[in-house]
């Protein structure tokens, strides 16, 4: 216990740093700005932030990512509520509901309830992270390459299965990500692979230009292709009133929803490939299913908003549990964060909990601080929402593209990285048009070296026997679980196809 | 182009990519005393990609022969407007040009030009586009080059800054 308090006090000491506090505030403002603008996602905000984090301490870099993402996800509710355009995909589940509330003159209640439930969900997720991560880490210290291989493989499969309604496209995305991870020198022997004669590729593909290309350049291209310019606001909604008035009573009335959203969000967030948007959709439908008044859903009813609002923010913290303990990110944002941690020399894994305990405690505290900051900064963002929504989209896209160029270049002072950014922007855009999801590509890219390294190490230990992967009890259990999951998913996919074939045959007759 | 034919083409590209990766991976040196060399993992991925490509091809052929219902992913997308298409082409072309000339011409010339053309294509006023581009690139240059000490290429403006 004394050890715990000494670590915690060291963590508080790390937080009491003017530079760190400034980083949190600036990143929060940036997150609120990006989140409040439709078409710009929280992942884009994180990808654009990464080049700047390169010049920060590891803790400041993580603090910037955590606060920026939490703010962006919550600010995404604002345009959804006011002009029916979700700021980020995580708000899409309940955009119609909040907009219906606005039309009924309840915009303040909609924004207030989603903000406060987001804070509660985020705080719950942060507490779970604080408790679960060290416990899991102490357990994971006993893991060998066999367990890590199965864990990484389960994480990857999960990402491929969840991220797309089409299993085949999810698998293709995953394989592309894993292949990209093989570019550069082989992790065991140092043999160059797929470097095409570029010395810049010998160390592998640089993660940051890829992220900027896939999440910033690609998003701008998507916006151009779908012509999803933000609507010019002709009808200015009435100023939003006191957003916290009566919210305490409302949250208390729907306390079960808040709790269920927070728990479900944290659990879903921890699943690789399932981010805040999936958590929000599931929570919203769960709220409707268990509601005493399901007929009110869609008419401007706060119940689903509160549950889904808590879920999407809780998912953010949940995603950090497997990311910190096993190095397996829960979503694209944590995948970027894992990449940043590795760049900073903080390789995620159970050893980190022994060697860098105060830094990890400081990271947990950052989650708490960022979520508490949501209340005043969220309030401010709601006040400033209308001028933000009036920023012309093309001008904003031009400025974002400028930062993409500069951000990609700044990592290695290399023009080559601008080419990488462009290539991945275009490839990601084309794959998006073909319905291939991005999430598994990122997870494959991050987890590829882990899967390969642990596979080859395990094969060497087991003397080339594949059965060796099942001989240790935990590894065996994980292996069987992985095979069962694949079997179940494959069966379901095959059954789906046979049903379709029967249906088609019937309609032919 | 229908969704099934796009899928067919995509499947063929995946098959081709799988075969190409497998050929390159097979040519990688094997390590003495080790059963699994640097080419093993890429070979597995190549087989996976080719298999997925093959399934995609089969599925799209079945779809084209109307025996199957549509695939679950909806790929029907509206056509891109002329102005937006031009901007899209400029994003790709302009970034490629920047990659080629930024070292010699410099960030403070290349990027504002890129931004101005982008905004003008999309119908923004020229004067405002010039002001916004110059102001934003100057601020970003100052932040990265002077505060973060990034070696941003100055190119033709060497000596002025």
A184-242 per-position pLDDT tens digit: 988 777 888 998 888 888 888 888 889 889 988 998 998 888 865 544 455 555 666 78
Q: How far is A388 from chain B (nearest CA, A)?
A: 17
Chain A residues touching residue B151 (CB < 8 angstroms): 413
Closest B-chain CA to A403: B140
The two three-digit tokens of residue A312, written as one number: 């999407």
Question: How many CB atoms are located within 10 Å of the residue A12 CB?
Answer: 13
Answer yes or no: do A166 and B73 touch at CB < 8 A.
Answer: yes
Helix intervals (H) in A141-164: 145-163
* pLDDT value of residue A69: 87
Chain A residues touching residue B96 (CB < 8 angstroms): 419, 422
Q: How far is B49 from chain A (nearest CA, A)?
A: 6
Range of the domain at A262: 2-230+244-471
Which residues sit opposite A403 in a β-bridge? none
* pLDDT value of residue A120: 95
Measured CA to CA, the distance from residue A270 to residue A275 in angstroms comes to 8
Q: What angle do CA A397, A230, A261 make, to 5 degrees?
A: 100
Answer yes or no: do A399 and B136 touch at CB < 8 A.
Answer: yes
Measured CA to CA, the distance from residue A231 to residue A400 in angstroms comes to 19
Instruction: Answer whether A68's CB lies under 8 Å from A28's CB.
Output: yes
Measured CA to CA, the distance from residue A90 to residue A77 in angstroms comes to 9
Task: Please choose, from the candidates A380, A267, A330, the residue with its C-alpha nearest in 3D space to the C-alpha of residue A25.
Answer: A380
Answer yes or no: do B35 and A225 touch at CB < 8 A.
Answer: no
Name residues 36-95 of chain B within 8 A of A (Cβ): 36-42, 45, 48-49, 52, 55-56, 59, 66-69, 71-75, 77-78, 80-81, 84-85, 87-88, 91-92, 95
Pairing of strands A184-185, A192-193: antiparallel
A499 occurs within a structural domain: no
Q: Give tens-digit pLDDT for B112-154.
A: 999 999 999 999 999 999 999 999 999 999 888 887 788 889 8
Candidates B84, B132, B151; nearest CB to A225: B84
Interface predicted TM-score (ipTM) of this complex, two decimals: 0.90
Q: How far is A127 from chain B (nearest CA, A)?
A: 35
Name residues 95-154 of chain B within 8 A of A (Cβ): 95-96, 98-99, 102-103, 107, 111, 114-115, 118-119, 122-124, 128-129, 132-133, 136-137, 140, 144, 148, 150-152
Q: Is A399 on the interface with B (CB under 8 A)?
A: yes
Which residues sit opposite A185 in a β-bridge? A192
A483 occurs within a structural domain: no
Backbone φ and ψ of A302, nearest 5°: -80, -10
Chain A residues touching residue B68 (CB < 8 angstroms): 497, 500-501, 504
Q: How far is A308 from chain B (nearest CA, A)?
A: 25
* pLDDT value of residue A104: 85
Interface test with B, best of A60, A175, A179, A212 (most B CBs within 10 A): A175
Domains contained in chain A, number: 1
At a CB cut-off of 8 Å and minimum separation 6, what does B149 contact? none
Mean pLDDT by 10 residues, chain A (509 residues): 75 86 92 82 85 86 90 84 77 86 87 92 93 88 87 81 79 93 86 86 86 89 74 55 84 92 90 77 88 88 92 90 86 83 84 85 90 90 78 88 90 89 95 89 85 86 84 89 84 70 55
Candidates B29, B35, B119; nearest CB to A464: B35
Instruction: Answer whether A119's CB lies under 8 Å from A377's CB.
Output: no
A498 occurs within a structural domain: no
Instruction: Answer whether A274's CB lies under 8 Å from A137's CB.
Output: no
Name residues 25-84 of chain A within 8 A of B (Cβ): 52, 55
A503 occurs within a structural domain: no
Answer yes or no: do A175 and B48 touch at CB < 8 A.
Answer: yes
Domain ranges of chain B: 3-64, 82-157
pTM beyond 0.90: the answer is no
Name residues 312-351 of chain A within 8 A of B (Cβ): none
Q: Is A503 on the interface with B (CB under 8 A)?
A: yes
Name residues 203-242 of chain A within 8 A of B (Cβ): 217, 220-221, 224-227
Answer yes or no: do B99 and A217 touch at CB < 8 A.
Answer: no
Q: Is B161 on the interface with A (CB under 8 A)?
A: no
The two three-digit tokens of residue B49, written as one number: 């990609």
Instruction: Give the DSSP H/E element, type plus range, for residue A128.
Output: helix A107-140
Task: Please choose, from the candidates A475, A272, A458, the residue with its C-alpha nearest in 3D space to the C-alpha of residue B40.
Answer: A458
Measured CA to CA, the distance from residue A42 to residue A241 in angstroms comes to 26
A491 occurs within a structural domain: no
Answer yes or no: do B48 and A455 touch at CB < 8 A.
Answer: no
Q: Is the dihedral of CA A460, A462, A464, A470 positive or negative?
A: negative
Residues of chain B with pLDDT below 70 are 1, 33, 66-77, 161
Answer yes or no: do B99 and A415 touch at CB < 8 A.
Answer: yes
Q: How far is A142 from chain B (nearest CA, A)?
A: 26
> Residue A348 CA to chain centroid, in angstroms?
17
- What does each C-alpha distance from A62 to A20, A33, A46, A246, A362 come to in angstroms? 10, 19, 10, 35, 10
Candidates A166, A413, A452; nearest CB to B41: A452
The two three-digit tokens of residue A277, written as one number: 């948007």
Q: Is A505 on the interface with B (CB under 8 A)?
A: yes
Size of interface A-B (CB pairs under 8 A): 179
């Amino acid at each position: 216990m004394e050890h715990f308090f000494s670590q915690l006090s060291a963590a508080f000491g790390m937080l009491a740093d003017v530079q760190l506090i400034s980083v949190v505030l600036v990143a929060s403002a940036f997150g609120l700005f990006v989140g409040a603008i439709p078409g710009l996602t929280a992942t884009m905000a994180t990808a654009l932030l990464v080049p700047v984090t390169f010049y920060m301490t590891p803790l400041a870099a993580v603090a910037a990512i955590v606060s920026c993402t939490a703010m962006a996800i919550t600010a995404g509710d604002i345009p959804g509520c006011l002009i029916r355009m979700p700021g980020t995909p995580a708000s899409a589940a309940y955009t119609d509901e909040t907009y219906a509330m606005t039309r009924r003159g309840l915009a303040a209640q909609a924004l207030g309830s989603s903000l406060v439930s987001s804070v509660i969900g985020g705080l719950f997720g942060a507490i779970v992270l604080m408790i679960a991560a060290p416990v899991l880490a102490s357990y994971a210290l006993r893991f060998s390459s066999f367990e890590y291989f199965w864990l990484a493989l389960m994480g990857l499969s999960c990402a491929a299965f969840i991220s797309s309604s089409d299993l085949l496209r999810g698998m293709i995305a995953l394989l592309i990500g894993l292949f990209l991870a093989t570019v550069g020198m082989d992790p065991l022997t140092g043999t160059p692979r797929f470097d095409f004669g570029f010395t810049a590729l010998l160390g592998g593909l640089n993660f940051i230009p890829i992220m900027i290309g896939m999440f910033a350049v690609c998003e701008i291209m998507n916006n151009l292709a779908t012509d999803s310019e933000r609507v010019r606001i002709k009808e200015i909604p009435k100023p939003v009133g006191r957003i916290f008035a009566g919210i305490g009573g409302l949250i208390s009335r729907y306390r079960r929803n808040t709790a269920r959203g927070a728990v479900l969000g944290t659990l879903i967030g921890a699943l690789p490939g399932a981010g805040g948007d999936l958590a929000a959709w599931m929570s919203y439908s769960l709220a409707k299913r268990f509601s005493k008044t399901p007929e009110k859903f869609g008419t401007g009813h706060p119940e689903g908003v509160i549950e889904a609002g808590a879920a999407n923010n809780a998912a953010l913290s949940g995603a950090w549990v497997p990311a910190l303990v096993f190095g397996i990110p829960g979503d694209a944002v944590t995948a970027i964060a894992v990449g940043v941690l590795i760049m900073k020399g903080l390789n995620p894994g159970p050893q980190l909990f022994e060697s860098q305990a105060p830094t990890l405690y400081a990271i947990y505290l950052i989650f708490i601080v960022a979520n508490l900051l949501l209340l005043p900064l969220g309030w401010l963002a709601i006040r400033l929402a209308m001028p933000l929504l009036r920023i012309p989209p093309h001008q904003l896209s031009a400025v974002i593209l400028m930062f993409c160029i500069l951000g990609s270049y700044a990592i290695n002072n290399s023009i080559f990285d601008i080419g990488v950014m462009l290539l991945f922007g275009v490839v990601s855009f084309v794959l998006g048009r073909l319905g291939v999801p991005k999430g598994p590509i990122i997870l494959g890219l991050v987890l590829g070296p882990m899967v390969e390294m642990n596979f080859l190490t395990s094969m060497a230990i087991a003397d080339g026997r594949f059965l060796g992967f099942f001989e240790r009890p935990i590894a065996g259990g994980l292996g069987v679980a992985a095979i069962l999951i694949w079997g179940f998913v494959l069966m379901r996919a095959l059954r789906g196809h046979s049903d379709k074939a029967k249906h088609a045959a019937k309609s032919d007759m | 182009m229908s969704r099934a034919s796009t899928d067919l083409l995509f499947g063929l590209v995946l098959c081709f990519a799988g075969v190409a990766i497998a050929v390159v991976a097979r040519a990688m040196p094997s390590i003495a005393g080790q059963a699994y060399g640097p080419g093993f993992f890429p070979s597995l991925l190549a087989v996976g990609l080719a298999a997925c490509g093959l399934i995609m091809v089969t599925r799209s052929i079945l779809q084209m022969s109307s025996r199957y219902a549509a695939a679950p992913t909806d790929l029907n997308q509206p056509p891109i407007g002329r102005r937006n298409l031009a901007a899209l082409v400029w994003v790709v072309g302009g970034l490629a040009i920047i990659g080629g000339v930024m070292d010699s011409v410099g960030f403070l010339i290349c990027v504002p030009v890129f931004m101005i053309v982008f905004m003008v294509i999309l119908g923004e006023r020229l004067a405002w586009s010039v002001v916004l581009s110059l102001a934003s690139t100057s601020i970003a240059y100052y932040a990265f080059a002077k505060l973060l000490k990034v070696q941003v290429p100055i190119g033709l403006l060497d000596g002025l800054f």
